[in-house]
Amino acid sequence: MSEAKPFRPSVDAATFEVVKNSLYSAAEEMKVVLAKTAYSPILKVAGDYSCGIFDAAGAMVAQGPDLPIHLGSMPDSVKAVVQAWPDPAPGDVFIHNDPYFGGSHLPDVNVVTPAFDDAGGLLGYACVRAHWPDIGGGTPGSYGAATDIYGEGLRLPPVRLMIAGEINPDIDAVIFANVRTPEERRGDLRAQVAANRRGAERLAVLARKHGGDVLRGIMADVMDYSEAMMRQALARLADGEGRFEELMDGDGVLDDEEGNDAPIRVRIRVEKQGDELLVDFAGSDPQTQGPMNAPLAVTASGVFTSVKMLADPANVIPPNSGCWRPVTVTAPPGCVMHATLPASVVYANHEVGHRASDMFFAAMAEIAPDSVMACSQGTSAILTLGGNDYRTGQGYVSYETLKGGFGARPTKDGINALASGIANTMNTPIEVLEMSFPVRVEAYELIPDSGGAGRFRGGLGTRRITRVLGSDAAASVCCERTLAAPFGLAGGGAGAAAEIVLLDPNGGETRLNSKGPFTAMAGARVVYSAPGSGGYGPAAERDPAALRDDLRDGYVTAEGVRAAYGIEPPAIDE
């Protein structure tokens, strides 16, 4: 165990504070440029991207208020560029998405722009990772159950998108020959490049004001500062060891004649000693045929998210690479938590990310029961639709996530319908969605009784009914927790599992597997129920007044009270 280094910045405290905040504000400004100018709904309204400022070695100095799943793995994307292009020049812009060389899954496209001071010295990098709604492959949306990385779509190692400030036409041609709806992708890519330019400019301005070397020193300080704070926070927790294991739903590739998708076992072991944490996934199942295999950086990202919430619940430590120095995440190569070439990966990014995040809390419940939360929704609950828009005659690809519950805490209920853990995308307003795509949302509502019972109730999941209009759509779903419902902690009950039902226009009704492609006929409805979250503490200890309120508001039903709380429902009045 290493001693916590006392933190002392290389400049005076006021300058450190100002420049540190300027670095975070630069990342936030990148976010503004991206969100406000991108074209596809998943970026412009849902916010499935992250922006960051990195040092010359590729370590993350400042992350925008974006998506936790990207946090832990984005440094690898910049390091891949550093490795492939060790001597960048002003005007270079790099692009890549290779999960086996700094990426997470193919739809997450990284654009990396070096920043220079006025003397031409490299200061660091700006990077935007953005989820493209399509990156090629067999299924619109690139969410098919391919059985190797080659089938998942266009795989780009770090290459130069721009040279001397001009688009590199060779790379440009390759990219846009491989993706669906290229016009929309072009708009998104322009926004990514512009966001990076803004970040790089902000670094250059800071260097001009404070000096390039001073700025480089402060960038190192910011990470040391986060590390020192994280070590102090970890040191305050009890030492100990914790374990947890459970099943994931499947990988989207059918395993028997009946159409069943075999579940996947995951094991976690956590060891907390002093100011350090070891997290190991040894004993998890070998990598699967379908794309439920996580690059180790993705697994680690899931863990880091929960470490931050557990050790720094008030969120005062700036998130950057320094935070994770005291945390070691391991998994044997070739297992679902540490994919090796040529395993397919697309689902794992969020689904395994969520799982690592939730399971970390379960394992830590033995060590720090007052600092954990019950299992949240545990899935990004994705529906992709693609086809031809009957209104315009043009192709479309739609990608939507659905929110479930945020887990119950040791002192509080969970939260209904809120992005949890590694995810933090926004829903697309129904009015924007339907103007953009040939669908009609027929309901979007909370699911009664879906929050796990407990002294503190789990948050409710949501149900959305989406009708496909005009012509058939090539659809796919990617969901977890349809089999293993979100667990409760400290005696709390599980949240309701997810469920996806396809109602075809002729009256047929099919319960879909958690993952994989299907055809949604014109007029068909997809009834998608995202999971609730687990409860905390025994149901018998629930405050009767809180239960009455829940009943009055229909968060629980009379039958739900009987089944989950084992009592006759109390009388309610307004």
Q: Confirm or reject binding of residue 266 to other proteins (CB under 8 A).
A: no
Nearer to other proteins, 101 or 528 (CB): 528
Q: Confirm or reject binding of residue 377 to other proteins (CB under 8 A).
A: no
Nearest distance, CB of residue 553 and other proteins, angstroms: 4
266, 463, 533 from 276: Cα distances, Å: 23, 41, 29
Residue of the chain from 77, 142, 357, 424 that contacts other proteins (CB under 8 A): 424
DSSP string spanning 112-126?
A: EEEEE-TTS-EEEEE
Residue of the chain from 165, 240, 286, 313 that contacts other proteins (CB under 8 A): 313
Nearest distance, CB of residue 14 and other proteins, angstroms: 6
Give the separation between CA 445 and CA 457, rounded to whole angstroms. 18
CB-count burial class (<10 Å; 0-12, 13-18, 19+) for 268: buried
Judged by CB under 8 A, the chain residues 145 through 184 that form the site for other proteins are 183-184
Question: Which residues face 465 on adjacent strands?
Answer: 443, 527
Nearest residue to 400 (alpha-carbon basis) of 501, 314, 475, 349: 475
Nearest distance, CB of residue 384 and other proteins, angstroms: 18
Binding segment (CB under 8 A) for other proteins, from list 86-94, 247-255, 410-418, 481-489: 410-418
3-state secondary structure of 442: strand
Nearest distance, CB of residue 241 and other proteins, angstroms: 22
Judged by CB under 8 A, the chain residues 65 through 124 that form the site for other proteins are 65, 68
Q: What pairing do the DSSP bridges indicate for beta strands 395-401 and 499-503?
A: unpaired
Nearest distance, CB of residue 18 and other proteins, angstroms: 5
Give the separation between CA 344 and CA 150, rounded to whole angstroms. 8
Nearest distance, CB of residue 427 and other proteins, angstroms: 5
**Continuous segment of H or E residues that includes residue 68:** helix 68-71
Residue of the chain from 110, 147, 425, 513 that contacts other proteins (CB under 8 A): 425
Nearest residue to 348 (alpha-carbon basis) of 531, 179, 110, 100: 100
Binding segment (CB under 8 A) for other proteins, from list 168-176, 218-226, 313-321, 477-485: 313-321
Binding segment (CB under 8 A) for other proteins, from list 112-120, 244-252, 441-449, 497-505: 441-449
Neighbours of 366 (CB within 10 A): 15
Q: What pairing do the DSSP bridges indicate for beta strands 264-273 and 240-248?
A: antiparallel
Nearer to other proteins, 64 or 88 (CB): 64
Residue of the chain from 173, 238, 282, 432 that contacts other proteins (CB under 8 A): 432
Nearer to other proteins, 61 or 149 (CB): 61
Judged by CB under 8 A, the chain residues 316 through 375 that form the site for other proteins are 319, 371, 373
Nearest distance, CB of residue 193 and other proteins, angstroms: 7
Task: Give the burial string for 544-571 (b: 16+ CB within 10 Å, else e).
Answer: eeebbebbeeebbeeebbeebbeeebee
Q: Given the structure tokens 């040391």, which residue do they identify?
A: 224
Give the separation between CA 379 and CA 260, rounded to whole angstroms. 20
Binding segment (CB under 8 A) for other proteins, from list 138-146, 151-159, 328-336, 401-409: 401-409
Nearest residue to 408 (alpha-carbon basis) of 291, 490, 513, 517: 490
Nearer to other proteins, 425 or 513 (CB): 425
Residue of the chain from 96, 403, 481, 515 that contacts other proteins (CB under 8 A): 403
Judged by CB under 8 A, the chain residues 454 through 473 that form the site for other proteins are 462, 465
Residue of the chain from 226, 284, 420, 476 that contacts other proteins (CB under 8 A): 420
Nearer to other proteins, 416 or 513 (CB): 416
**φ, ψ for residue 510, nearest 5 deg:** -125, 130
Residue 155, CA atoms < 13 Å, CB-side half-sphere: 18
Q: Confirm or reject binding of residue 574 to other proteins (CB under 8 A).
A: yes
Nearest distance, CB of residue 322 and other proteins, angstroms: 15
Nearest distance, CB of residue 517 and other proteins, angstroms: 25
Residue 188 near residue 132 (C-beta atoms within 8 A): yes
Q: Confirm or reject binding of residue 482 to other proteins (CB under 8 A).
A: no
Q: Given the structure tokens 């400030």, which residue do they identify?
A: 165
Residue of the chain from 79, 96, 131, 202 that contacts other proteins (CB under 8 A): 202
Q: Confirm or reject binding of residue 310 to other proteins (CB under 8 A).
A: yes
Site mask for other proteins (CB under 8 A), range 31-60, x = bound: xxx-xxxxxxx--xx-x-------------
CA-angle at 199, arms to 189 and 104, nearest 5°: 55
User: Tokens in use for 265?
Assistant: 């076992």
**φ, ψ for residue 378, nearest 5 deg:** 70, 15
242, 365, 513 from 533: Cα distances, Å: 22, 16, 20
Residue 462 near residue 403 (C-beta atoms within 8 A): yes
Site mask for other proteins (CB under 8 A), range 552-571, x = bound: xxxx----------------
Nearer to other proteins, 110 or 427 (CB): 427
DSSP 406: B
User: Tokens in use for 123?
Assistant: 């200061």
Residue of the chain from 28, 172, 271, 389 that contacts other proteins (CB under 8 A): 28
Residue of the chain from 138, 187, 491, 538 that contacts other proteins (CB under 8 A): 187
Nearest distance, CB of residue 416 and other proteins, angstroms: 6
Judged by CB under 8 A, the chain residues 290 through 309 that form the site for other proteins are 305, 308-309
3-state secondary structure of 270: strand
> In degrees to the nearest 10, what's the CA dihedral of 383, 388, 393, 394?
60
Binding segment (CB under 8 A) for other proteins, from list 228-236, 276-284, 286-294, 420-428: 420-428
